[in-house]
């Protein structure tokens, strides 16, 4: 009996959720490694008030991999449900569950494992670190912005590009995450916000070194749209450049890049994105080998009111690379 291919998805947020939704339909040994530096919204409040690590990205990954016998939309609505009134206003049910498990067990990794059992998760959801860290950005003009939420939704000099991001303190790679990366056949980065969902994982001490030691192929899924304050004016090559920069010693491990052929949306949807100063990411890489990396161009977009990667299309392309 042949062993299942081991795939590690490294990122956070909605992008990683879409990739996991597609891959869970295949016979694979799947692990999601998620960021632990969120400081905004419900996650940020729980982190500040209870002293727990932010549960938001772990919640999304758990939902994507859940096998509970509920309609997917019902389960998502239940765990993403946010209270409107009282002291719980703004908190999601899923975040509260994880925060409670963190306090009961005293450990983030055990809390996520227990939540995975409750949700009948197929695969693993792993924190990139179980140490408390803060994401910091330094802009081109020297301005320093602290906190993931302040970088993610930037009110501070949003027109000034980001020079670099780093963690303070760096934090150390979680042992379970290290094991998953070392044993992986394929490591998938993204899609997701470049500086607040993908790169924070690469900033944790030991992650890049472990990726370099792993025999796994490494791939990057390019975002469909730019994000104001993070990737204004970015083309596909800019995403590749930044990922290689933060991969450091593992930069040469980047084997393939997935790029959407053409972002298609209704004029109404595009007007909404234009309002938030987001535009389609142009593919300036072409096809074939570029900088030692294979460029795969397909239609990966999903039709709807928001531009998202299509889980099935993504998964089909990824599985061909295993």
**How do residues 114-144 score in pLDDT, each as one tens digit?**
999 989 999 999 999 999 999 999 999 999 9
Break the chain into its structural domains and give their ranges: 6-252
**How do residues 247-294 score in pLDDT, each as one tens digit?**
999 999 999 999 999 888 899 999 999 999 999 999 999 877 777 789
What is the pLDDT of the chain when averaged over all its residues?
Answer: 90
The string over 169-200, giving b where at least 16 C-beta atoms fall within 10 Å of a residue's C-beta and e elsewhere, is eebbbbebbbebbeebbbbbbbbbbbbbbbbb
Residues 247, 10 contacting (CB under 8 angstroms): no
Give the pTM: 0.92
15-21 average pLDDT score: 94
Residues 280, 234 contacting (CB under 8 angstroms): no
- Please tell me the CATH code under which domain 6-252 is placed: 3.40.50.10680
Q: How many CB atoms lie within 10 A of CB 75?
A: 17
Q: Name the more confident of 47 and 152.
A: 152
């Amino acid at each position: 009996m042949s062993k299942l291919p081991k795939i590690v998805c490294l990122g956070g947020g909605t992008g990683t959720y879409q990739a996991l939704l597609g891959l869970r339909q295949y016979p694979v040994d799947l692990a999601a490694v998620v960021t632990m530096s969120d400081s905004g919204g419900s996650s940020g409040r729980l982190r500040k008030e209870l002293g727990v690590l932010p549960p938001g990205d772990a919640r999304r990954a758990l939902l994507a991999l859940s096998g509970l016998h509920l309609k997917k939309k019902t389960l998502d609505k239940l765990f993403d449900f946010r209270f409107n009134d009282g002291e719980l206003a703004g908190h999601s049910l899923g975040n509260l569950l994880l925060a409670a498990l963190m306090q009961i067990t005293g450990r983030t990794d055990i809390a996520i494992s227990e939540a995975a059992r409750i949700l009948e998760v197929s695969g693993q959801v792993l924190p990139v670190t179980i140490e408390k860290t803060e994401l910091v950005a330094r802009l081109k003009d020297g301005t320093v912005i602290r906190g993931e939420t302040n970088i993610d939704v930037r009110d501070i000099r949003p027109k000034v590009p980001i020079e670099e991001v780093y963690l303070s303190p760096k934090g150390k790679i979680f042992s379970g995450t290290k094991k998953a990366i070392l044993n992986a056949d394929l490591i998938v980065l993204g899609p997701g916000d470049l500086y607040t969902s993908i790169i924070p994982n690469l900033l944790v001490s030991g992650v890049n070194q472990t990726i370099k030691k792993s025999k796994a192929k490494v791939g990057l899924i390019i975002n469909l749209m730019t994000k104001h304050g993070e990737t204004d004016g970015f083309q596909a090559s800019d995403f590749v450049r930044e990922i290689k920069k933060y991969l450091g010693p593992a930069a040469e491990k980047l084997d393939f890049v997935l790029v959407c052929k053409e972002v298609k949306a209704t004029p109404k949807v595009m007007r909404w994105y234009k309002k938030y100063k987001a535009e389609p990411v142009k593919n300036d890489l072409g096809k074939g080998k570029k900088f030692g990396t294979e460029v795969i161009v397909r239609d990966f977009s999903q039709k709807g009111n928001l531009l998202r990667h299509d889980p099935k299309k993504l998964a089909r392309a990824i599985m061909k690379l295993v």
